[in-house]
């Protein structure tokens, strides 16, 4: 399958680029080629690429991911997270190309302890979640007859960019102990697994557009940030103790959902994609980091 990806430097886009030549042709468009802060301009670029007949599907892996900054820059976040995916989804629909868009657990309020199903009521706590939810709604409204999917995921990590794993490794090398939030629970998800899931979904939509809809994909087993950190330290060769603290002891400009558990059964049923073991993903990423340091 030939896939046109919007995004190039983010964690998932980087992993999508790595799939090029592994049974797929992947072309990633970064900000210099398609600036999503100009949604209609980006849509025109998609239409131009579609007119060449090259892509078989489109994946949007670009987003505003600075959760706290979105609280004071919501208009800018809205352009990237809501207006841009909606414009791209419309352009993909007009071109007859399946469209896959990556979203987030932040569309939920994090209440309770049960995993959120794809059709669970949404109630974002902050600006980031609001803009991502608006993007989901725009993708759905495009009504792509060639197929569309919103893939919600959580706690993304990889060997690239800024993420929790790399932060823990850095701080664990500097300190004997760290306080880490223990009352937020979710599924850490390797970016390479998300990339593969997106391509698998795009292929399935091309064969059967009736599978269109909203899906969930996160790593297993569910854990807290503190539990995640306790796995990172010894696996990463760090002798650093992790002390549990409540969210109230680590205030942030944007509120975080306490419950980020995602019910991923529909994704496995529709596409045969099981939840990845994040511990195996963590080991892969630590091996890669060792090679690059």
**215 catalytically annotated:** no
Q: Which of 106, 128, 215, 250 is catalytic?
A: 128
Q: Which residues pair with 223 in a beta bridge?
A: 186
Tally of CB atoms within 10 A around 167: 14
Contact, 82 vs 39, CB < 8 A?
Answer: no
Sequential DSSP letters for the chain: -EEEEE-SSSHHHHHHHHTBTTTBEEEEE-TTT--TTSHHHHHHHHHHHHHTT--SEEEE------TTGGGT-HHHHHIIIIIHHHHHHHHHHHHT--EEEEEEGGGS---SSSPBPTTSPP--SSHHHHHHHHHHHHHHHT--TT-EEEEEE-SEE-SSSS-HHHHHHHHHHH-SEEEEE-S-EE--EEHHHHHHHHHHHHHHHHH-GGG-EEEE---BS-EEHHHHHHHHHHHTT---EEEEE-GGGS--SS---SEE-B--HHHHHHH--PPPBHHHHHHHHHHHHHHH-
| Interatomic CA distance for residues 208 and 122, integer angstroms | 27
Contact, 113 vs 261, CB < 8 A?
Answer: yes
Q: Which residues are catalytic?
A: 128
């Amino acid at each position: 399958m030939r896939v046109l990806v919007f995004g190039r430097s983010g964690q998932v886009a980087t992993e999508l680029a790595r799939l090029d030549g592994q049974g797929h042709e992947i072309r990633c468009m970064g900000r210099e080629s398609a600036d999503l802060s100009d949604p209609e301009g980006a849509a025109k670029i998609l239409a131009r690429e579609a007119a060449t007949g090259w892509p078989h599907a489109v994946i949007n892996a670009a987003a505003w991911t600075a959760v706290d900054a979105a609280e004071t820059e919501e208009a800018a976040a809205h352009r990237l997270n809501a207006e841009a995916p909606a414009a791209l989804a419309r352009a993909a629909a007009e071109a007859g190309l399946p469209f896959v868009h990556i979203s987030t657990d932040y569309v939920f309020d994090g209440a309770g302890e049960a995993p959120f199903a794809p059709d669970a009521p949404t109630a974002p706590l902050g600006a980031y979640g609001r803009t991502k939810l608006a993007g989901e709604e725009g993708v759905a409204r495009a009504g792509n007859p060639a197929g569309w999917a919103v893939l919600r995921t959580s706690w993304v990590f990889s060997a690239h960019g800024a993420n929790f794993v790399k932060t823990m490794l850095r701080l664990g090398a500097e300190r004997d102990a760290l306080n880490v939030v223990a009352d937020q629970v979710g599924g850490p998800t390797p970016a390479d697994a998300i990339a593969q899931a997106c391509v698998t979904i795009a292929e399935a939509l091309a064969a059967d557009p009736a599978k269109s809809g909203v899906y969930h994909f996160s790593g297993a087993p569910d854990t807290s940030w503190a539990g995640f950190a306790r796995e990172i330290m010894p696996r990463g060769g760090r002798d650093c103790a992790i002390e549990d603290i409540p969210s109230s002891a680590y205030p942030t400009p944007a509120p975080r959902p306490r419950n980020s558990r995602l019910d991923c059964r529909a994704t496995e049923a529709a596409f045969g994609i099981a939840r990845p073991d994040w511990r195996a993903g963590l080991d892969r990423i630590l091996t890669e980091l060792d090679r690059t340091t």
